[in-house]
Amino acid sequence: MRFDTVIIGGGLAGLTAGISLQEAGRKTAIVSSGQNAMHFFSGNFESPSADRDRIAALFAAAGVRTNAIDGQMLMPMGTFRDASLTLEDVTVFPDRHVADKALIVNFTGFHDFFSTFIADALEQDGTACRIRFVRLPEMEHLRLSPSEMRSVNIARAMDEHWEKVVADIRILHKDEDLILLPQVFGLKDASVLDKIRTALPARVAFIGTMPPSVPGIRTQMLLKRRFEVLGGTYLMGDEVTSAALHDGIVSSVTTRNLDTVRLFADHFILATGGYFSKGIVTTPTQVHEPLFGLDLDFPENRSAWYRADFFADQPFMNFGVKTDEALHALKDGEPVRNLFAIGSILGNTRKEDFGTAAGLAIRTAFAVVDNIKGENV
- E strand residue ranges, 144-278: 178-182, 203-207, 233-236, 240-246, 249-255, 262-270
Cβ-in-10-Å burial (0-12, 13-18, 19+) of 72 comes to: middle
Helices marked H in 173-245: 191-199, 214-229
Q: How many other C-beta atoms can be found within 10 angstroms of the C-beta atom of residue 108?
A: 12
Do the Cβ atoms of 113 and 182 come closer than 8 Å? Answer: yes
- The distance of closest approach from Cβ of residue 343 to ligand FAD in the complex, given in angstroms and rounded to an integer, is 2
Regarding 40 and contact with ligand FAD (CB under 6 A), the answer is yes
- The distance of closest approach from Cβ of residue 47 to ligand FAD in the complex, given in angstroms and rounded to an integer, is 7
In the set 18, 182, 215, 343, which binds ligand FAD (CB under 6 A)?
Answer: 343
* Exposure b/e, 333-360, CB count within 10 A at least 16 = b: eebbebbbbbbbbbbbbbeeebbbbbbb
Output the CA torsion 299→331→242→232 (10° steps).
Answer: 100
Distance CA 258, CA 237 (A): 11
Which region, judged by CB under 6 A, interacts with ligand FAD, from 33-41, 84-92, 124-132, 297-305? 33-41
- The distance of closest approach from Cβ of residue 342 to ligand FAD in the complex, given in angstroms and rounded to an integer, is 7
- Measured at the CA of 226, the angle between CA 224 and CA 232, to 5 degrees, comes to 75
Distance CA 187, CA 271 (A): 25
Regarding 279 and contact with ligand FAD (CB under 6 A), the answer is yes
In the set 20, 22, 28, 36, which binds ligand FAD (CB under 6 A)?
Answer: 36
Residues within window 46-105 making contact with ligand FAD, judged by CB under 6 A: 46
Using the minimum distance from each CB to ligand FAD, give the nearer residue, 36 or 348.
36
Regarding 28 and contact with ligand FAD (CB under 6 A), the answer is no
In the set 7, 19, 38, 250, which binds ligand FAD (CB under 6 A)?
Answer: 38
Regarding 361 and contact with ligand FAD (CB under 6 A), the answer is yes
Distance CA 142, CA 157 (A): 9
Regarding 196 and contact with ligand FAD (CB under 6 A), the answer is no
List Cα–Cα distances, 39 to 97, 116, 221, 276, in angstroms: 30, 24, 10, 12
Which region, judged by CB under 6 A, interacts with ligand FAD, from 151-159, 317-325, 354-362, 369-377? 354-362
Regarding 276 and contact with ligand FAD (CB under 6 A), the answer is yes
Regarding 232 and contact with ligand FAD (CB under 6 A), the answer is no
- E strand residue ranges, 18-59: 28-32
Using the minimum distance from each CB to ligand FAD, give the nearer residue, 188 or 278.
278
Phi, psi of 373 (to 5 degrees): -65, -35
Cβ-in-10-Å burial (0-12, 13-18, 19+) of 258 comes to: middle
Which region, judged by CB under 6 A, interacts with ligand FAD, from 84-92, 180-188, 280-288, 355-363? 355-363
In the set 20, 29, 41, 366, which binds ligand FAD (CB under 6 A)?
Answer: 41
In the set 83, 139, 240, 250, which binds ligand FAD (CB under 6 A)?
Answer: 240
Which region, judged by CB under 6 A, interacts with ligand FAD, from 6-14, 53-61, 222-230, 330-338? 6-14
Distance CA 108, CA 149 (A): 10
In the set 3, 5, 6, 9, which binds ligand FAD (CB under 6 A)?
Answer: 9
Q: Is 102 helix (H, G, I), strand (E, B) or coil?
A: strand
Regarding 344 and contact with ligand FAD (CB under 6 A), the answer is yes
Using the minimum distance from each CB to ligand FAD, give the nearer residue, 183 or 344.
344
Regarding 291 and contact with ligand FAD (CB under 6 A), the answer is yes
Enumerate binding residues for ligand FAD (CB under 6 A): 8-14, 31-34, 36-38, 40-42, 44-46, 239-240, 271-273, 276-279, 291, 343-344, 357-358, 361
